[in-house]
Amino acid sequence: MIPINLIQSTAESLMDKAAIEIPQDYLDGLQHAAKTEDGDLSSFVLKAMLENYEAAKEDRRAMCGDTGVPRWFIKMGNEAAVEGGMIALEAALRRATANATNGVPLRPNRVHPLWRTDHNNNVGIGAPEIEYGFEPEGAWIDLITVHKGGLFGSDYRMLFPSDGIQGIKRFYLDSLMAFGKRGLACQPAIIGIGLGGSKDICMTLGKRASTLRIVGSRNSDPKIAEMEDEFKELGNSIGMGAMGFVGKNMVIDCNIEVGYCHTGGMPMSVHAFCLSSRRAVARIHADGRVAYRTDPDWFTPYQRRDTVDWEPVQEAAK
């Protein structure tokens, strides 16, 4: 049984880490970008961002003033049990979100869409979002918080099989061009592409591709992995860099996730996880051990399964 107090205190420290500490994989990616960048202005921007990450850690202050919209992804092993059940879990995550908003402090970004009511704590109707995933084995719970920023950089389009790869490329480029200008997408970013699923799941896949996979990871389908390499390169060949200035670095990495869709369509979404790619993860074990990390490791073979049943032997064989 995982104690509920431990869940809340761990969630609070994750809120703090996500807002303040740039994940190492993104930092490595940006440092590499800074080395290759030769545009005057875009080089200056990347250098300033690298200094900013240091300042955030030194001062323990949020790396960006727009601290995004905090949300939670919860992954549980099949044998995990939470003290007080799932209702207690959700209450703990809402409390942690509210407490950290005041504590770090974060910007209270969440408001009612019509009445603009602000509770000053990032909690409200449907906020923070809490999404769930499960794994066949284990008594642990993974708490993953993502504070994705940006009103720009994400888009959805219903493509069709006849649009093909060239159509996918075009919509990808369109998204980068539209939101890259003036740096509205706060690039260089981790670009996530969702292909397939229903409309809503297509958006979910793309968002998860950008926020729940780390820089340098590749899809387990080798052909999709090749597309990821190609799309990263394509995005960086536009000639646009940070803030939309002339430059070589627009895409720190490109991650693609797919889901089965309607036979007549090929829905596609594009998402940009920005220069403040805020994510933090902890696994809490049944015995109370807590291990922090920055890789959500969301897309396991189980999450990408395409068969009717999940055979335990299949897992043992991998």
What is the binding site for another protein (CB under 8 A)?
A: 19, 40-41, 43-45, 47-49, 51-53, 55-56, 59, 61-67, 102, 104-109, 111, 116, 118, 120, 151-152, 157-160, 162-163, 166-167, 169-171, 173-174, 177-179, 181-184, 186, 234, 237-240, 242-246, 274-276
**In whole angstroms, how close is the CB of 47 to another protein at the nearest point?**
7
Closer residue to another protein in complex, CB, 85/103: 103
Nearest approach in angstroms of CB 279 to another protein is: 17
Q: Where are the beta strands (DSSP E) in 12-165?
A: 69-77, 130-135, 141-148, 155-159
Report the Cα 103 to chain-centroid distance in Å.
23
Strand-pair category, 266-273 with 189-196: antiparallel
Strand partners, 258: 195
Alpha-carbon distance of 255 to 257, in angstroms, equals 7
- Please state whether the peptide bond connecting residue 3 to the residue before it is cis, i.e. omega within 30 degrees of 0: no
Q: Least distance (Å) from another protein to the CB of residue 17?
A: 14
Nearer to another protein, 133 or 206 (CB): 206
Which C-beta is closer to another protein: that of 55 or that of 86?
55
Query: Quick one: which of 250, 254, 231, 255 has its CA closest to 176?
Result: 250
Nearer of residues 93 and 275 to another protein, judged by Cβ: 275
Three-state SS for 96? helix
Report the amino acid identity of residue 314: Q
Closest approach of Cβ 91 to another protein, in Å? 23
Q: State the minimum distance, in angstroms, from the CB of residue 223 to another protein.
A: 19
**Cβ nearer to another protein, comparing 2 with 268:** 268
